[in-house]
Amino acid sequence: MGVNLKSLVKTKQLDLEDLRGKKLAVDAYLTLYQFLTTMPQLSDSKGRLTNYLSGLFYRSTNLMASGIKLCYVFDGISPSHKFRYDTGEWGIEHEYLIRITPEIRRKSIELLEALGLPIIEAPSEGEAQCAYMCRKGKVWATASQDYDALLFGSPRLIRNLTLAKYRKLPKGGSAKVNLELIDLKKFLKENKINQRQLIALGMLIGTDFNDKIQGIGPKKAVKFVQKKSSEQIFQNFELNYNWKEIYNLFAKIPVTDKYKLKWSEPNRREIMRILVKEHNFNGERVETALNKIN
């Protein structure tokens, strides 16, 4: 899932306190996939899945209590080339069998709006919209597990935006989770490339829109893009896609200015209706979480 730049990036570790007062655009779909695929399969009395609602509510309220201003950006119409596959980072070893249904999307938005958080509907990729908002200075950073936001030009990327200290590994055990910041300008400078070359690099090692070139890893890809133009790079390989078309999905993907960033007080009555009355959440736990928010 996404382009794997892990071996090339140098991250700065943060504490939640470092993000106090900052506005973050959260990749909503990736967050939901994380909850749906890694959390226990919780359901209400009618058999409806509720683990994603639990994840959204408790993570959001804890981050809000830390003084972080969240807005959630939902995907619009994905490009026809897109396929989602796993890199193993969140413990999934196969193509996604769980999709974000219209019902999951609707209930998620309903809960987030009740929490008083802005919802942005992207015309296409949510991460591209997050990156655009960050470039325009509307938010401080994009919050996503994927590095794709860097290819879309997000000046800052926050990874591991969670209160969890450890995450489960695919084959058992756990690994420590650190809140990370990646600065795009520093990343480009350290690897001696520009934004155009970063997109080409991502395409060589594989993105959500195209397969990787066999035999080329991240470090080899850096050397390729440093020495050759995009035309020269891709003419050397047999491709099952139009490289210019894939390139433009990152460079020219649709984004929008038609949104409002307005935060409001949580609607406690509505939250209790959604979680407790409709989906059988524990009322005391919900109240406790809400009481943490200033």
- In degrees and rounded to multiples of 5, residue 71 shows phi and psi of -135, 145
pLDDT the model gives residue 87 = 37
pLDDT the model gives residue 40 = 85
Residues 6+ apart with CB under 8 A from 133: 25, 73, 120, 139, 142
pLDDT the model gives residue 91 = 33
Task: Give the 3-state secondary structure of residue 108.
Answer: helix
In 3D, which of 10, 123, 20, 11 has the Cα closest to residue 67?
Answer: 20
Element (H, E) at 114: helix 102-114
pTM recorded for the entire structure: 0.90
**Hey, which residues does 121 pair with through a beta bridge?**
74
- In degrees and rounded to multiples of 5, residue 274 shows phi and psi of -65, -50
CA distances from 19 to 109, 153, 180, 268 (A): 24, 21, 11, 25
Can you spell out the DSSP letters for 169-222? -TTSSEEE---EEEEHHHHHHHHT--HHHHHHHHHHH--SSSPPPTT--HHHHH
At 75, list the tokens: 């995907």
**Hey, which residues does 80 pair with through a beta bridge?**
none
pLDDT the model gives residue 41 = 87
For residue 227, the one-letter residue type is K
In 3D, which of 129, 171, 137 has the Cα closest to residue 155?
Answer: 137
Can you spell out the DSSP letters for 120-155? EE-SS-HHHHHHHHHHTTSSSEEE-SSTHHHHTT-S
Structural domains in the chain?
A: 1-191 (3.40.50.1010), 193-253 (1.10.150.20)
Alpha-carbon distance 100 to 98, whole Å? 7
pLDDT the model gives residue 171 = 60
**Hey, which residues does 120 pair with through a beta bridge?**
73
pLDDT the model gives residue 90 = 35
pLDDT the model gives residue 116 = 98
pLDDT the model gives residue 84 = 44
pLDDT the model gives residue 95 = 40
At 25, list the tokens: 């655009």
Residues 6+ apart with CB under 8 A from 118: 71, 72, 259, 260, 261, 262, 263
Centroid of chain to Cα 294: 26
Element (H, E) at 158: strand 156-159
pLDDT the model gives residue 170 = 52
Torsion of the alpha carbons at 60, 65, 71 and 72, rounded to the nearest 10: 0
Alpha-carbon distance 170 to 268, whole Å? 37
Show pLDDT as tens, one digit a residue, over the chain (294 residues). 588 999 999 999 999 999 999 999 999 999 999 899 888 888 999 999 999 999 999 999 999 999 999 999 999 988 866 654 443 333 333 344 578 899 999 999 999 999 999 999 999 999 999 999 999 999 999 999 999 999 999 999 999 998 766 666 556 666 778 899 999 999 999 999 999 999 999 999 999 899 999 999 999 999 989 988 888 888 888 888 899 999 999 999 999 999 999 999 999 999 999 999 999 999 999 999 999 997
Residues in the chain: 294
